[in-house]
Structure 1
Amino acid sequence: MKIVIESLILGVLILAGTQVMAQDNQGEVIVRSAGTGYTPSGPAPEFSQLDTDGNGSIDHHEASGYKLLANDFRMADSNHDGKISRREYERWAALP
């Protein structure tokens, strides 16, 4: 029953225009919303380029310097503390 419900949810998300990626090794499903209006021309910027105040984390304001990160802020902030650490950023940037 659980598999059926998860399949239905994934189907609805796909039809709604979101990109879905399942990570088998951790049993997680990561949903990245579509439609940022921005196509990257290369790799994600270095963490230090976005951490403009040099405090070791990226806040909402700093994330706005990279539209893809601003769009995925809540997902990238995996511990939901309102800021993205270097480790969180590197994990997010490594996602396809």
Structure 2
Amino acid sequence: MAKITNEEVKKVAHLARLELNEDEINNHAEQLEKILGYIKQLEEIDTEYVPCTTRAIEVINVFRKDEKKSSDCIEELLELGPSREDKYFKVPKIINE
């Protein structure tokens, strides 16, 4: 694997609109080399028989059937709003005629 140069880090930093000093450039170059080395290790793993997945732990959604239910707390809910008219919330007009 080719060594990540300081010039490459400077170019990427410029494209990302980052201002890096020389210490930061050297540090990022070293870190990027370690990351790419780790990726190279991962590429060597045989994954031919590993099933594709989007999560490490399988997640199963539990759905419930939508059912219409009557509620006896309509008055209590309407009282929570700032203003009401009959059995509706009253809101300020936002569209000019």
Q: TM-score, normalised by structure 2?
A: 0.19
Higher radius of gyration, 1 or 2: 2
Q: Which has the higher contact order (CA 8 A, sep 6+)?
A: 1
Q: TM-score, normalised by structure 1?
A: 0.19
